[in-house]
Amino acid sequence: MRYGQIRKFDIANGPGIRTSLFVTGCTHHCVNCFNEAYQDFSAGEEWTDVETAELFSYLRLPVVSGLTLLGGEPMQNAKALIPLLRDVRKAVPEKDIWVYSGYTYEEIREDKERVQLLELCDVLVDGRFVEALKDPGLYFRGSANQRVIDIKKSEAAGAAVLLWPDGR
């Protein structure tokens, strides 16, 4: 897996102060993507044990409320992220995990490997960014078609359950 950056303290991609990991590689190519440079699967640096140790040191800080995965496309990096998130769950089980994906919840549910990654997370921000639906007033998402989904409640209900049904 390759990554573009690790943000030790991030307040833009989920509630509270979070640590964010930006993976690289995405085939969605949304128009006006906010991280176009991270669409390239060869962008960034190779993930190593050094980055794993750095990530864990940040997540262990009391001020950090959780981890956010963005990209690029985390679901297109599921194979590498699954073991990492299993280790995160063991090391800091009290921290929540958010994942941003251009795939919808329903599309993710159709792929076994993506489901494994999804089930290690708490919140999914789903859907491709659509410039015509851009709305800077929405909580933690860029366009009105995207949803902020409570994964555990969704799994229990058998359908997507939104954290903020009105988006605000």
Contact 117, 85 (CB under 8 A): yes
Q: Tens-digit pLDDT profile for the chain (168 aa)? A: 999 999 999 999 999 999 999 999 998 888 877 788 888 899 999 999 999 999 999 999 999 999 999 999 999 999 999 999 999 999 999 999 999 999 999 999 999 999 999 999 999 999 999 999 999 989 899 999 999 999 999 999 999 999 987 766
- Please give the pLDDT value at position 120: 98
> What is the structure's pLDDT at 55?
98
Distance between CA atoms of 147 and 125, rounded to whole angstroms? 5
- The Cα–Cα gap between 116 and 55 comes to 21
Domain ranges, ordered by start, for the chain: 2-162
Strands 2-10 and 45-46: antiparallel
Cβ count within 10 A of residue 80: 15
